[in-house]
Chains A and B, each alone.
Chain A
Amino acid sequence: MSDEPSIARRDQNNDNNGPVKHPPSPEHSTGPEHSTGPEHSHNFDDQQADQGNSIGQSPPVPNRGALSSQGVHQSPPSAIELKRLHRFFGDTKAVHDVSFSVSRGQIYGYIGPNGAGKTTSMKILATLDLPSYGDAFVDGFSVVNDPEFVRQRLGYMPDAFGTYRDVSCIEYLDFFARAHGLIGRERERRLQRVMDFTGTQGMKDKPIRGLSKGMKQRLCLGRSMIHDPAVMILDEPAAGLDPRARIQLRQMIRELADQGKTILISSHILTELAEICDSVGIIEQGKLLATGSVSEIQSQRQECRKLVVRVLSDPEEAANKIKRNLEIKEVLVDGQLLKFEFQGDIQQQAVLVRSLIEQGVELAEVRSHQKSLEDVFLSVTEGLVQ
């Protein structure tokens, strides 16, 4: 029995964890003379020795300069950052090498089928679970090493309500305000602001058990923002809500982002996410398949654009001109409508239209069909469940 050189990893109370390899770690222990000394960075070679084995120490990534020895950003560039995040439950890889970052004030949509690993990643970010390997940062603070600082900056709304019996709405919010250390007038101000924002002022004395699902969601949103966090994690906030409640919730989220809050949101309602998110990440079977802004992903996944052209002149002649110009093999003629697939961006589409007009084709209408987020989601994912 011995105390081996230390490498951070999941510790004693770790249900259903798979085997975790832990090769020797680099010596970054310091003597008393170094105990309060300045931070010192891992060098990259040492990190490679650590590859994929630890919590609290980010796996090797080329750009390590921004991280200190303890996995704390010296100058946080992003509000949320996941670095090669892994979470295993036995043989199941719930989260497998997920990395992305969210800039301040952005709304990031986290999309994936059931069991894709969205909630697991979000729980790790909310410091409710620990990664098997890799690390996650909120405002530059590691969820593993400095969870208390992460919690100060984070508001988490889980997919379950998490409400108490025998308490009214105001008592519920008041309790969480106290739990976040708010006292005196500051607490009263925050309570007032949150109830105004979520529209729960009118039901403040009502018992929670009598509330509708939509109102409970509002209350839970209020609870998660009671301490005015800079980052909010919303796990399926719109699940089970009627269309009106969904629209109201969407407006509230947009408003929060306008206030400068960074929001990570997961939802199954992709059209809604496409409308409010600045960027999205698509996850399946624990792996991040695509990430970026909605338009970026759409264009990445758009192998060819479907164009529909309505001509007033002879359609056959126009079809031949299109074929000649663009070496398009097949143009479907449907009355005055010409339908074909065009490989090119929006600029090239403009060039095509101009060239057709110059060749004497009388164009009445040009329609291009771009893939929606739902189409992209369906093309990226395979519907696999772990």
Chain B
Amino acid sequence: MNNEVIDSRTTQLTKLQRLDLWANQFSDRLNPILIKETRQSLKSRQFIFTFFSLLTAALGWTIVGSLSRMPQIYTTPSAPTLLLGYYAVLAVPMLLVVPLAAYRSLEVEIDDGTLELLSISSLSPWQVVLGKLASSLLQIFLYFIVLLPCMAYAYTLRGVNLTSILLITTTLLASGIFLTIVSVFFASLTHTRSGRTLTLLGTVIILLASVAGISLAMSSLILDGNLLSPNELFFSIASCLFIGPCAGHLMLTATTIRLTPESENRSTPLRRSVLALSTSIIFASALATLLLSARVTRTTILCQPDFLYGLMLAGGTLWTIAGSMFVSESPNLTPRVKRDLPSSIFHRSFSTWLTPGPATGFFFVCINAFLMVAWFGFGLNWLAATNLSVDEFAIVSKRLAWAFELSSTFAAYLVITLIFVGYLVRFIRKKQNPRIEIGIASLIATTIMMALIPYSIGLHLNEFRTYAYSNWQMSNWIWTLSWIYQGNDPGSVPFLVKLIAILILVISLIRNRKVTRPTRTATPQRVLDEKQKNRPNHAGELD
């Protein structure tokens, strides 16, 4: 339908009808899940109850809070008291109600069988998940808008600066979105009744713990003001801006993977997402080295060593869990996956490690663990040497050397453990065809055995008395790492562990050289034709 026809038709319509027509056309460009969820949630009792409770609580606190501050409200700053109440009113729906509603929304889709119906529609799993997230976001904004005049009122009462209010609202919004992502992720984890009880429990615990932690920080910010130095504030915001979205993306990817058919390539998106999160951790460590003080002084709240250890731990945990799942993937690729494997030499050189399969998964983890260790060992040292003062560098370099020793030993243990996990899962696959989460269970079993067996033998040989660390505890990764962490000398154990890890890596590379061979298969012409036919061409369809 051309523009003239539209014009002649629309001129006969009233303004309201034209608005309706425009809204209808606009809605065609929106995610259908967002439209459905919004229609549903705005009619739901839960939303109506929460919305009116929020209104009542905000109004009630404005009156009660103001009256309780009388008559000093005219002379002394009273904003912190009122803002604390508004924060409490807003935090409950934003950090608890909305995430739980998102969890319940996906759970009900699974229960009622509508998720199955969605999965055979044209909607992609990403559209389903993002639609749910967008709907939650809409609710969060609605709640936020309700409280906005109250916050403005609190600001006029003095005592809290604009930066603090901005920080509080941004933190609330970001936390609400992140916790919604976490809830949706947990909702997708299992489809069984008993499993869902556990995931609901886990979600509630995480939400409550997060609310407690965030509330503590926010109340401190409201009552005491911003205690961070400009550098620390910049580091906090920049780190959150990088790590938060990457962690959220990883969880969203994991959620969509749970909704993706098994014949699809579900590994590559996950690997990309893990890689992005790992990169954001590296970025945060660089910022910590550059911006945070090396010494812990009375005026320093955030200190560089603490953050470096925390980031190292996060990186180690990420690659350990992800690695255990990557090496547990099925070695057999579906024809559908094989159609999209890298084919050119250039593409294979860079993308082979992203293709599904346990061998590529193992090397992907090893390469990234190596890069991360190299960064903590050399990259940060170089960064510190070129940017810090001589005194600060002296302190930082010592800590970095120690961090390098710890992280490299951990990486070596990870390589050895993943080899065991891989073989264990291969053995299980002869009898069963398990989910990749079996990798985590195998990892736990392997690491416990690696630590427990030498420790038990040592106890037995020493007649169950405490004994000192020795080379015999080489496989006991817990003792070895804690020994290094405490600053003790573990002798030749780290060297031997790293040597074994490198040997294993080299042997695996030689044995698995065929993974780099091209295995791409041709896509049938009829499929290519159909894809060509399905290319989006909406021109003129919005008549």
Contact = CB atoms under 8 A, between A and B. Distances in A.
Dominant SS at the A interface? loop
Contacts of A171: 36, 39
A167 interface: yes
Given A38-B522, A166-B40, A145 B336 contact: yes
B15 interface: no
B343 A32 contact: yes
Nearest to B328: A12
A130 B263 contact: yes
B475 to A, nearest CB: 19
Interface string A1-37: 1111011111111110111101000001111101111
B262 A147 contact: no
A60 interface: no
A186 B540 CA distance: 11
B522 A8 contact: no
A7 B333 CA distance: 6
A72 interface: yes
A30 B521 contact: yes
Given A1-B358, A35-B520, A158-B116, A72 B121 contact: no
A9 B332 CA distance: 7
B120 A156 contact: yes
Contacts of A4: 331-332
B158 to A, nearest CB: 44
B297 interface: no
A271 interface: no
Contact of A144 (B334, B432, B541): B334
A68 interface: yes
A30 B524 contact: no
Contact of B335 (A71, A128, A130, A223): A71
Contacts of B445: none
Interface stretch (B138-146, B236-244, B509-517): B509-517
Given A57-B335, A130-B261, A186-B541, A1 B327 contact: yes
A34 B40 CA distance: 50
Contacts of A152: 122, 534
A165 interface: yes
B422 interface: yes
Interface stretch (B62-70, B307-315, B375-383, B423-431): B423-431
A128 B116 contact: yes
A223 B116 CA distance: 13
B336 A1 contact: no
B261 A127 contact: yes
Interface stretch (A172-180, A196-204, A359-367): A172-180
A335 interface: no
Contacts of B541: 183-184, 186
Pick the most buried of A22, A176, A178: most chain B CB atoms within 10 A of its CB.
A178
Pick the most buried of A35, A39, A158: most chain B CB atoms within 10 A of its CB.
A35
B526 interface: yes
A7 B357 CA distance: 12
Pick the most buried of A37, A151, A184: most chain B CB atoms within 10 A of its CB.
A184
Given A151-B120, A162-B114, A164-B36, A55 B542 contact: no
A160 interface: yes
B109 to A, nearest CB: 9
Contact of B515 (A3, A178, A180): A3
Given A12-B262, A36-B523, A130-B262, A7 B332 contact: yes
A100 B488 CA distance: 71
Interface string A65-82: 000111111100000000
Contact of A180 (B35, B122, B362): B122
Interface stretch (B245-253, B433-441, B459-467): B433-441
Given A30-B522, A56-B263, A162 B333 contact: no
29 contacts: A1-B508, A6-B338, A8-B334, A9-B330, A11-B263, A11-B332, A12-B434, A13-B266, A14-B434, A19-B430, A30-B520, A30-B522, A35-B522, A39-B525, A68-B526, A69-B522, A141-B526, A144-B335, A154-B120, A156-B117, A162-B114, A164-B40, A166-B39, A166-B40, A166-B44, A179-B32, A179-B118, A183-B542, A185-B1
Given A1-B359, A70-B339, A127-B261, 5 more contacts: A1-B426, A13-B258, A29-B338, A32-B520, A40-B522
Listed from nearest, the 5 A-B pairs whose CB atoms lie closest are A178-B32, A1-B422, A179-B121, A17-B433, A32-B343
Interface of A: 1-4, 6-15, 17-20, 22, 28-32, 34-40, 55-57, 68-74, 126-128, 130, 140-141, 144-147, 149, 151-152, 154, 156, 158, 160-167, 171, 175-176, 178-181, 183-187, 223
